[in-house]
Amino acid sequence: MAFPLEYCCKPKPNPKWIWYFKIGLLQYSWITPICSGIAVVLNLANVYSNGLWKFNQGYPYITIIITISQTLALYFLITFYSNMKDELKPFQPLAKFITIKLLVFFIFWQSVLMSGLAAAGVLRNTRCDSQVNVYCHGSTTGFTVEQEKILLENILICVEMFFFSIAHHWIFSWKPYANGTFTNIIESRSIQIINKNNEIDEQFATTYF
């Protein structure tokens, strides 16, 4: 186990423990779409209020659930990598892991941070006087705080995607596949994984059923 659970939960090298890792990794893939569906229903009922941290609305609860799910998935993925890094070393998994997880999770947490800053009053618009300024629509920009938050998020994402695209060009290079470097490795590892999965399934069925 990775920090901090290594100090309270000792690893149990048995088939059942491997299933726990699978659940910990894959739970995010079904919790997120379920939460998205619930958010759509709540939004149609006008009780979601995206970005609004009021606990009589659905946004805080959906955000907390997704954050916990993401944290668990990341933790189990890091633990899996720490135990399999030697076998995965030819594929440069750490660089791929960092770029993909930043792309997926960082954008979400950035949105949560922006919502928190808006709720705390750190992000705010400047009010203007329509009698003095004929172009005034309540604020100097003409947008609400929520609209300005969304605009700022989109600008940041556009800038960040430029740097992510450069990083992905180098980290997910086509060259190892073109020269056959990964071909033999992938084929041999695939056979090993299939055999190991069959062995684990047999052991799990024999032990627990």
Average pLDDT over residues 113-142: 63
Residue 84 domain-assigned (yes or no): yes
pTM for the structure as a whole:
0.64
Task: Quick: pLDDT tens for 143-159.
Answer: 677 777 888 888 998 99
Domain that includes residue 201, residue range: 173-209
Average pLDDT over residues 176-203: 61
Residue 103 domain-assigned (yes or no): no
Residue 85 domain-assigned (yes or no): yes
Residue 116 domain-assigned (yes or no): no
Residue 4 domain-assigned (yes or no): yes
Q: Which of 24-38, 167-181, 194-208 has the highest mean pLDDT?
A: 24-38
pLDDT of residue 31: 95
By CB neighbour count within 10 A (0-12 exposed, 13-18 middle, 19+ buried), where does 170 fall?
Answer: exposed
pLDDT of residue 195: 60
CA angle 31, 161, 174 (to 5 degrees): 90
Task: Report how many domains make up the chain.
Answer: 2
From 57, 72, 91, the end of a domain falls on 91
Residue 8 domain-assigned (yes or no): yes
From 41, 65, 91, the end of a domain falls on 91
Average pLDDT over residues 110-132: 71
Residue 168 domain-assigned (yes or no): no
Cβ proximity of 50 and 59 under 8 Å: yes
From 37, 72, 91, the end of a domain falls on 91
Better pLDDT: 117 or 199: 117
pLDDT of residue 39: 94
Average pLDDT of the residues of the chain: 76
